[in-house]
Every structure is written in C-alpha cells, then in structure tokens.
Amino acid sequence: MNKSSPPTIKDVALKAGVSTATVSRVISGREKVSPALIDQVNQAIEELQYRPSRVARNLRVRKANTVGLLVSDIQNPFFTSIMRGIQDTLLAKGYVLLAANSDEDEDQERIHIETLLAEEVAGIILAPASTSARNYADLIEQGVGLVIIDRIPDRLKVDSVLVDNTAGARSAVEHLISLGHRRIGIIAGREHISTATLRLEGYRFALQDAGLPFDPELVSIGDFRQEGGYQAMNALLNLAEPPTAVFSSNNVMTLGALQAIHEKCLKIPDEIALVSFDDMPWAASLQPPLSAVAQPTYEIGTTAARLLLERVNEPERSTRRVILESELIVRGSTVGPNC
C-alpha cells in the first residue's frame, strides 16, 4: 500500500486474509458472517485505520432495488432490445433500472460508472467501451455486482453474457460461399475489440474450410459506426477487382455499406451480395430484404439480469460465462427476390 494514499477495501481484505466481498458484508452488517471473520476484518480495519467510503458503507442498503445499465451505443437497436430484456426481468423482481450511454468513450464511461456508484446501485450491467480490465478494477474492489455483455475486456474475470461471434460470422460467410461467391470482402471492426476479432476469425475459418485464400485486401476496417461502414465499403468497391459479396460485422456499419452501394447504383444481390452481423427490426422491410445473423438480444438481456441478481444474492459464488447462439436469416440481399 502506498503510504501517501488512504487504505482501500482491498488492503483490508489482504490484511484480514479474506475476500473484498467478505469485508463488504462485515461493513454493511446485513449478511451473516462468522464471528471469527468479523473479528479478523474489524482488527484489520482498526490497524489500517480504514474508513469505508459512502458507497461501500451503503452498498445494497439504501437503494438495493436499483440496477445500473451502461451501454456503448444507445442508438444501436441491438442494445434497445437487450435493455428491454433486462428491464422486464428486473421489474418482475422489484428492481428499477437506471440506464446510461458511454458513446464508445472511456471518459464518459468512467463518469457514468462513478455516478451509478454514487447512486448506490445494487449492481451494474455493462457493455464496455474499454478493452482494459484495469478500468473496472474499482467496481470489483468495492464488491459491486457486475455483469458484462456483448464484448469483454482481456483478463476481466466477472459474470458475462456473450454470443458465439465466431460461429455466427462463419455461418454468414459459408452462406455466401454456398451461393458461388469466391471473392468475399469483410467490413471488420477495430482489431482491439473482442467482437471484431472473433467475427474476423469466423470469416477466416469459413474461407479456410472452403479452400479459399485469405486476401488482406478484402479486409476493410470500420469502427462499428455508420460512417465507418460507408468508408469501409467504398474502399472495397474501389478495388481494381471488387468483391462480389461482402460480410458486414455489425448492423450500424451495414447502414453505411448500403449507402455506399446505392451511391454507385449497384444492384443487390446481382452485382454485389450483402449479409450483416446483427439483424435489425426493419431489415425485412428493405429492398431487397437484408440477410443477417440475428443475435438473441432479448435473451442476452434476461440472462444478464438473472446473473446480476444471483451475484447480488450470492456475492462469493464463482463467476459464470454464458455464450448464446446466433441464427442466420437468409433474405433477398444474398439470394435475390423472394416474393
């Protein structure tokens, strides 16, 4: 411990030889802890002259029926459906949801996390903007219930609900290969984001299984935003030998990709086929309707909410990672008119 900084709950836990969750339970006094452990923790608190923060002191007391949700892009319909699943599950158990949007910005995310902690929420469901586990160390140290959804930072050992991104991307590209396409492009996300890496992996596996070469020229990097998808698709279409089909790694980039295709007056799927990771409520209303890998968004939300409530009620249970399956929905953007 740095002598210039006040002791933390982690310091107390280390000195007492217990977990931070046990220290939190002793401080709150609302859960059963053995007398021996209480004595160990209190002795460590006294020796270190530890003063619990307002958040730690009131954890699960004043606002134990409130849960925080922090997503990386509230405008993405993917998160809207997840939020509905979370809210429905929490309301049934008497919990209220507080939601915030980081807009893929780590500084905004940090501010929102601090605000949720100040509100003394029982736990937080988080779609992280950062890839660093260090950014969430305070949450874990303070014993706040935490569930990660969609993507997960490296080496962050917490409850999580994810989708099998590799299998979903693989199914999309295998579909394009089955239609006879051999020059298939991908609009990929930024490499440091887990979902982008796994979807690119699925793309490569599908090519490998079909005996097709991996061509770096056909990998165009976007940023999971519409403008990024637009720029990435233009880069593919401007190649000397453009792809005949493209797999877009998320729904928002697909919007930009469609814009680029329409500006060049290309016919879908006759001149270029397109399949997206993430289905959208209006995908079937496009002309032609959009083929897409649908994620079980509502189930992601309900599962995340259940995991969080389990964590709140049983703070020291082992962490769980739930991986859900996606479904390829084939429509006219790859197979032509279906009406």
Query: Residue 74: its pLDDT value, please?
Result: 86
297-318: pLDDT as tens digits: 999 999 999 999 999 888 888 8
Asked whether this chain's domains 66-163+297-325 and 165-295+328-335 adopt the same fold, the reply is yes
Query: Residue 57: its pLDDT value, please?
Result: 46
Mean pLDDT score of the chain, rounded to an integer? 89
251-298: pLDDT as tens digits: 999 999 999 999 999 999 999 999 999 998 889 999 999 999 999 999
Contacts of 337 (CB under 8 A, 6+ apart): 288
Q: Domain coordinates of the chain in residue numbers? A: 9-52, 66-163+297-325, 165-295+328-335
Query: Residue 58: its pLDDT value, please?
Result: 43
9-52 classified as CATH 1.10.260.40: yes
31-82: pLDDT as tens digits: 667 888 888 888 988 888 887 654 444 444 444 689 999 998 888 889 999 9
Q: Of 273, 292, 271, nearest to 281 (Cα)?
A: 292
27-30: long-range contacts at Cβ-Cβ below 8 A with a sequence spacing of 24 or more?
A: 27/52, 27/56, 27/57, 27/59, 28/57, 28/58, 28/59, 28/60, 28/61, 30/60, 30/61
Query: Could you give the 3-state DSSP secondary structure of residue 134?
Result: helix
Instruction: Kindly state the average pLDDT of the residues 226-235.
Output: 97
| Token output for 169 | 């991307």
Query: Residue 132: its pLDDT value, please?
Result: 78
102-149: pLDDT as tens digits: 988 888 998 898 888 878 888 999 999 888 777 787 777 777 889 999
Is omega for the bond preceding 77 within 30 degrees of 0, making it cis? no
Q: Where are the alpha helices (DSSP H) in the chain?
A: 9-16, 20-28, 35-48, 54-58, 77-92, 106-118, 137-141, 165-178, 194-209, 226-237, 251-263, 297-313, 332-335
CATH code of domain 66-163+297-325 = 3.40.50.2300
Fold entry, domain 165-295+328-335: Rossmann fold (3.40.50)
What pairs with residue 276 in β-bridges?
248, 292
Cα–Cα distance measured from residue 133 to residue 141, given in angstroms and rounded to the nearest whole number: 12
Please say whether the beta carbons of 224 and 252 come within 8 A: yes
Query: Residue 62: its pLDDT value, please?
Result: 40
